């Protein structure tokens, strides 16, 4: 039997921790991609000229931002099963994170679109570009610069929120850490490791965001 | 069994109201403590003394980069190992405060930074001490700019209290689980409880909209962890 030392619980359970780490990364990445697509579409509806579409998009944003993610997650996992749509923990987790984050993405993208001067849009339309072409070639490329830092922050929030999937027994980083600490009773070692692992995902992104912010500020 | 039926029972409404009351209490206590903690942390971070600014900066940056769920879970798990016995409710309040103060500290710092430098210089030139210029010139203006961002973080805090259900705090989300595990009606129960949270949070965001700075030249600081759109006005 090996001698005891601080960190043993982590060293001996390293493969399990890595699996959890990978799960957190995959769930977050997938949800981020989906929320970008969904959120941009909703922002498009929110800035459209058709009033019911605007209301629909505003309703989406209000509903999903003003209810806890945990309740939404339980709804997809426990509620939809009851309605006959059986989602796996992975599917429910990704769906909940993506749908929730999309509401925030929509607000960020909308403020980006609004930050582009109206004259730009009018000029594009006057030049004969269609609505979609105007958005695609004139508005969105300019809006992108404004929205990149807040989107980066949403990515960080999403990684942090992804820890909630452990509550529906998806074996993410938090879930496996809880498993290891309850088996070994080495709470502090496991806590230290899991903190370092989460920081390794969120801090580089935070650094990137603050770089982007500084560059954009200087240019204005 | 199941369906909407059980949710029409007055007894269940009382049960949910009790959960809502605990949710509000946890959010209010953690929110008040975090406001104090956030201002103190921000001031420490802006202090010219490195013994204050360095630890405050490290704390804020690390705390903001961690999932609040992790903080809640491990505060609850670790306290007994440190010989402190924490019930679920105080553990949740401590954890939410540890986390939310860090986020609020960043909001306060951004609020102070968004003031023109001339304000601080003028205050000092008029003979106010560092402390006096903070107290009478900087903080009153900065706090006004920060109000919307702070309220949106308090909304996030209110939503985050639902995570306390996992460590056994008998608040709204946990009571929802108890109900639908009894009556097998998760869809109906979660819709009702979701609506209760919605009413709570959207009334807070209505408040935030009313309190947004009115003067045209002001720039509202809005860097809550999720609502970080910076709204430039004027």
Domains assigned to chain A: 23-219 (1.10.3720.10)
Residues of B in contact with A202 (CB under 8 A): 65-66
Determine the Cα–Cα distance for residues B102 and B108; give it in Å rounded to an integer.
10
A 95-154 residues with CB below 8 A of B? 104, 107-108, 111, 149-150, 153-154
Query: What does the pLDDT read at residue B7?
Result: 87
Q: Chain A: residue nearest B167 by CA?
A: A167
* β partners of residue B192: none
Runs of H (alpha helix) within chain B: 10-46, 50-64, 68-81, 88-114, 117-125, 130-133, 139-160, 172-183, 186-211
Closest chain A C-alpha to B198 CA, distance in angstroms:
5
Instruction: Domain of residue B162: give its range.
Output: 5-232
Minimum mean pLDDT among A142-151, B59-68, B87-96, B215-224: which range? B215-224
pLDDT band at B223 (very low <50, low <70, confident <90, very high): low
pLDDT given for residue A117 in this prediction: 86
Residue with tokens 């804020």: B60
B154: nearest Cα among B29, B67, B18, B66? B29
Closest residue in B to A164 (Cα–Cα)? B69
With contact defined as beta carbons under 8 Å apart, do A130 and A108 qualify? no
pLDDT score of B181: 93
CB contact under 8 A, B70 and A70: no
Q: What is the rounded radius of gyration, in angstroms, for the C-alpha atoms of chain A?
A: 21
Let me know how long chain B is: 234
Domain count, chain B: 1
CA B162, B163, B168 angle in degrees (round to 5)? 95
B201 interaction partners in chain A (CB closer than 8 Å): 65-67
Phi-psi domain of A128 (left: phi exceeds 0; alpha: psi -120 through 50; beta: other): left
CB contact under 8 A, A206 and B74: no
Contact B194 A157 (CB under 8 A): no
Predicted confidence (pLDDT) at residue A200 exceeds the cutoff of 60? yes
* Distance in Å from the first CA to the final CA of chain B: 58
* Percent of chain A with pLDDT strictly greater than 90: 71
Maximum Cα–Cα distance across chain A: 79
SS3 B164: helix
> How does residue B230 score in pLDDT terms, banded at 50, 70 and 90?
very low
pLDDT at B212: 66
Q: Which of A71, A108, A166 sits opposite B193 (nearest CB)?
A: A71
Binary contact (A75, B187; C-beta < 8 A):
yes
Distance CA A99, CA A76 (A): 11
The three-class DSSP label of residue A116 is coil
Nearest CA in chain A to B165: A70
* Closest CB from A67, A72, A79 relative to B187: A79
pLDDT at B182: 93
Tokens representing residue A205 in the block: 């992104």
Closest Cα of chain B to A128: distance in Å? Answer: 31
Task: Output the six-digit token pair for A52.
Answer: 């019911």
CATH number of the domain within which B80 lies: 1.10.3720.10
CA B11 to chain CA centroid, Å, is 31
Range in A48-57, A169-178, A195-204, B127-136 the model is least confident about: B127-136
Chain A residues with beta carbon closer than 8 angstroms to that of B205: 66
- H or E element in which residue B232 lies: strand B231-232
Tell me if A17 sits within 8 A of A10, measured CB to CB.
yes
Confidence class for position B218, pLDDT limits 50, 70, 90: very low
Averaged confidence pLDDT in chain A: 92
Q: How far is A217 from chain B (nearest CA, A)?
A: 12
| pLDDT band at residue A1 under the 50/70/90 scheme | low
Q: How far is CA A130 from the centre of its chain?
A: 31
CB contact under 8 A, B78 and A191: yes
Residues B227, B149: contact at Cβ < 8 Å? yes
A217 falls in which pLDDT band (50, 70, 90)?
Answer: low
Burial category of B72 from C-beta neighbours within 10 Å (exposed 0-12, middle 13-18, buried 19 and up): buried
- How high is the mean pLDDT of chain B? 88
Please give the pLDDT value at position B135.
Answer: 87
pLDDT: is A36 or B82 the higher one?
A36
Token reading at B189? 């129960």
Among B21, B114, B110, residue whose Cα is nearest residue B60: B110
Mean pLDDT of B49-73: 96
Cα(B215)–Cα(A10) distance, integer angstroms: 55
Q: Which of A68, A188, A191 sits opposite B159 (nearest CB)?
A: A68
Question: Residue A70 is nearest to which of B70, B162, B225, comparing CB atoms?
Answer: B162
Which region, left, alpha or beta, applies to residue A50 given φ > 0 means left and ψ of -120 to 50 means alpha? Answer: beta
- Confidence grade of residue B213 (pLDDT, cut at 50, 70, 90): low
ipTM of the complex: 0.89
Q: What is the pLDDT of residues B186-210, one digit of tens each?
A: 999 999 999 999 999 999 988 877 7
pLDDT band at A136 (very low <50, low <70, confident <90, very high): confident
Q: What is the pTM for the complete model shown?
A: 0.89
Asked if the model's pLDDT at residue B35 lies above 80, the reply is yes
């Amino acid at each position: 039997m090996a001698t005891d030392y601080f960190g043993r619980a982590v060293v001996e359970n390293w493969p399990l921790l890595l699996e959890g780490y990978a799960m957190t990364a995959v769930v977050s990445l997938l949800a981020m991609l989906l929320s970008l697509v969904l959120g941009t579409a909703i922002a498009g509806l929110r800035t459209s000229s058709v009033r019911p579409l605007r209301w629909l998009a505003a309703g989406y944003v209000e509903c999903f931002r003003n209810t806890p993610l945990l309740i939404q997650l339980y709804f997809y996992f426990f509620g939809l099963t009851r309605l006959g749509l059986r989602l796996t923990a992975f599917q429910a987790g990704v769906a909940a994170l993506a749908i929730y984050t999309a509401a925030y993405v929509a607000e960020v993208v909308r403020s980006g679109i609004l930050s582009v001067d109206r004259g730009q849009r009018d000029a594009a339309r006057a030049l004969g570009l269609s609505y979609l072409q105007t958005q695609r070639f004139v508005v969105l490329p300019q809006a992108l610069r404004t929205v990149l830092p807040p989107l980066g922050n949403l990515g960080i929030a999403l990684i942090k929120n992804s820890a909630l999937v452990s509550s529906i027994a998806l074996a993410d980083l938090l879930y496996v850490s809880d498993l290891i600490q309850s088996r070994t009773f080495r709470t502090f070692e496991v806590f230290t490791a899991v903190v370092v692992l989460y920081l390794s995902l969120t801090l580089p992104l935070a650094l990137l965001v603050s770089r982007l912010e500084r560059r954009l500020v200087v240019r204005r | 069994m199941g369906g909407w039926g059980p949710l029409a029972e007055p007894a269940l409404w009382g049960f949910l109201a009790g959960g809502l009351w605990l949710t509000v209490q946890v959010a209010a206590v953690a929110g008040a403590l975090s406001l104090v903690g956030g201002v103190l942390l921000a001031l420490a971070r802006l202090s010219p003394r490195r013994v204050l600014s360095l630890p405050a900066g490290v704390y804020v940056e690390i705390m903001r980069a961690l999932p609040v769920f992790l903080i809640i879970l491990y505060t609850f798990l670790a306290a007994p190992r440190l010989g402190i016995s924490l019930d679920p409710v105080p553990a949740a309040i401590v954890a939410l405060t540890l986390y939310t103060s860090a986020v609020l500290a960043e909001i306060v710092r951004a609020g102070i930074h968004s003031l023109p430098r001339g304000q601080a210089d003028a205050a000092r030139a008029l003979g106010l001490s560092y402390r006096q210029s903070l107290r009478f010139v900087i903080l009153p203006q900065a706090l006004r700019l920060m109000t919307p961002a702070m309220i949106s973080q308090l909304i996030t805090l209110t939503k985050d209290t639902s995570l306390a259900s996992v460590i056994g705090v008998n608040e709204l989300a946990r009571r929802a689980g108890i109900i639908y595990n009894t009556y097998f009606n998760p869809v109906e129960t979660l819709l009702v409880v979701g609506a209760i949270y919605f009413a709570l949070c959207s009334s807070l965001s209505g408040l935030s909209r009313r309190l947004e700075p009115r003067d045209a030249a002001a720039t509202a600081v809005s860097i809550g962890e999720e609502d970080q759109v910076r709204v430039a006005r004027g």
